[in-house]
Amino acid sequence: MIDLTKYLEDFPILQRTVRGGNRLVYLDSGATSQKPEVVIAAESNFYRKHNSAVHRGAHLLAEEASLAYESARENVAKFIGAEIVETIFTKSATESINALAYSFSNSEPGSKFHLKSGDEILVSEMEHHANLIPWQQLAKRTGAKLRWFEVTPEGRLDLSKISELINKKTKIVAITHQSNVLGSITPLSKITAAAKSVGAIVVLDACQSVPHFEVNVKKLDVDFIAFSGHKMLGPTGIGVLWGRQSLLEEMPPFLFGGSMIDSVTMEQSTWAELPRKFEAGVPNMAQAVGLSAAVDYINQIGISNIHEHENQLTKALLAGLAHMQGVKVIGPTDLTERGAVVSFTVDGIHPHDVGQVLDQYGIAVRTGHHCAWPLMRKLNVVGTTRASFHLYNSISDVEKLLEGIAQVQSYFKVNK
């Protein structure tokens, strides 16, 4: 039994009280995580001591800022088993994925990134909007066709048609590593093997995986991954795009401006080496430094300890919900290939109302379509209530939630 309770005091926000004078039971880490003091301090410390534009000045502060920023890159790269030059800072996973989609649009005919009518892009019905709409719009811009894996009633990817869906026309497979609604983890190896056999590029939305279990880009055998800092104890305003070096070298850039150039005339420009080619402008330096502090913090606890801890909480919550009348889990009900995100519905009560009553008890959950509207339609629900964990949650949070749901039912006088 992993006990992480001693870490709770590292999170200043958990010391405050919320509605009704209750302690904060924060079960919305799937949307954004809370930050330990060391992360907040790392960002502040950068501003207080080293702030200066990186890569640009001849002076000491510029030197220190560049060192801080590049060390952050190195640290994040190591965390995901990547090469340093393959690790690109963006503002968010959303930007990372859009950057890819635009880089594809920007590529010349003949390049492996160039899409045209007849080509196919494959996603799934359980994608977050951030890993659906950029591809939908890329398809629209290029004439390529968007196709998708369906979702089974149990909330798993339906791979039964994989050999038809991944075919010679498939140029991109963009898939989530873990559903932000269902918690189900994608059986990646089947997909990467099929994609490889047809030469398709695999893009992984790792927003819900990197913060919660070990992700090693080399082992995964995908081509690109995207994730956000704010879901992994890091600051807002920072994300990562990782890609295989050879692909990133071949791929045209996305944002144009300072620091990403090799030479510039009024007529034309050439691009800098990796990773700068993909980082135009003065970067989100303090946020990169904060993210690096978050990585240090996670490493100190151990990502596998965090994972096991979250598994324990998920198990307890699933067990508790299984005993409740009128409550239905949306997604896998056991721990096989699932993470610490649990969606459920309460008969007769709209998720928004469930969330509102829970809030009265200090319990912060997320309600609605979770930016996965097509999935809601597919599963025939108007939305769900979602509890999601991180290392700072405890078994007492699970108990509070279970009690809270019972209160919701009695508040709305639904027949259990």
Partner 1 sequence: MELDSLYQEVILDHYRNPHHKGLSGEFDVQVKHNNPSCGDEVTLNLSISNGVIKGISWDGVGCSISMASVSMMSDLVIDQQYSRAVEILNQFTSLMQSKGQSKGDEELLEDAVAFAGVSKFPARIKCALLGWMAFKDASSQAME
Q: Residues interacting with partner 1, by CB under 8 A? A: 19-20, 55-58, 62-63, 66-67, 259, 261-263, 272, 349-353, 356-357, 360, 367-369, 373, 376, 382-383, 411-412
Q: Which stretch binds ligand PLP (CB under 6 A): 80-88, 202-210, 297-305, 316-324?
A: 202-210
Smallest gap from Cβ 308 to partner 1, in A, equals 34
C-alpha 320: how far from its chain's center? 27
Q: What is the CA radius of gyration of the chain?
A: 22
Which residues are catalytic, by number?
A: 371
Q: Which amino acid is present at 163?
A: S
Which three-class secondary structure state does DSSP give residue 169? Answer: coil
Which three-class secondary structure state does DSSP give residue 120? Answer: strand
Binding residues for ligand PLP restricted to 111-150, rule: CB under 6 A: 128, 130-131
Q: Which of 29, 34, 228, 409 binds ligand PLP (CB under 6 A)?
A: 228
Q: Which is nearer to a second copy, 32 or 305 (CB)?
A: 32
Which three-class secondary structure state does DSSP give residue 205? Answer: strand
Q: Which stretch binds ligand PLP (CB under 6 A): 99-107, 116-124, 201-209, 267-275?
A: 201-209
Asked if residue 48 binds a second copy (CB under 8 A), the reply is yes
Q: Which of 2, 198, 261, 335 binds a second copy (CB under 8 A)?
A: 261
Asked if residue 258 binds ligand PLP (CB under 6 A), the reply is yes
The owner of tokens 């790392």 is 42
Smallest gap from Cβ 159 to a second copy, in A, equals 17
Asked if residue 110 binds a second copy (CB under 8 A), the reply is no
Torsion of CA 108, 113, 117, 119, to 10 degrees: 160
Please give the backbone phi and psi of residue 154, each rounded to the nearest 5 degrees, phi first.
Answer: -80, -5
Asked if residue 264 binds a second copy (CB under 8 A), the reply is yes
Sequence-ordered strand ranges (E) for 238-326: 239-243, 261-264, 269-271
Q: For residues 384 and 355, is the Cβ–Cβ distance under 8 A?
A: no
Q: For residues 366 and 31, is the Cβ–Cβ distance under 8 A?
A: yes
Asked if residue 43 binds a second copy (CB under 8 A), the reply is yes
Smallest gap from Cβ 65 to partner 1, in A, equals 11
Which three-class secondary structure state does DSSP give residue 256? Answer: coil
Neighbours of 269 (CB within 10 A): 13
Asked if residue 143 binds a second copy (CB under 8 A), the reply is no
E strand or H helix that includes residue 320: helix 303-322
Asked if residue 381 binds a second copy (CB under 8 A), the reply is no
Which three-class secondary structure state does DSSP give residue 196? Answer: helix
E strand or H helix that includes residue 343: strand 341-346
Asked if residue 187 binds a second copy (CB under 8 A), the reply is no
Decide the pairing of beta strands 384-388 and 366-368.
Answer: antiparallel
Rounded Cα distance, 192 and 180, in Å: 21
Q: Which does 412 bind (CB under 5 to 8 A by kind): ligand PLP, partner 1, a second copy, none?
A: partner 1
Asked if residue 390 binds ligand PLP (CB under 6 A), the reply is no
Q: Please, what is the angle between helix 285-301 and helix 37-45, to 10°?
A: 150
Asked if residue 338 binds ligand PLP (CB under 6 A), the reply is no
Q: Which of 74, 281, 348, 373 binds ligand PLP (CB under 6 A)?
A: 281
Q: Which does 272 bind (CB under 5 to 8 A by kind): a second copy, partner 1, ligand PLP, none?
A: partner 1
Asked if residue 27 binds ligand PLP (CB under 6 A), the reply is no
Smallest gap from Cβ 262 to a second copy, in A, equals 10
- Residues near ligand PLP (CB under 6 A): 92-94, 128, 130-131, 176, 180, 205, 207-208, 228, 230, 257-258, 281-282, 371
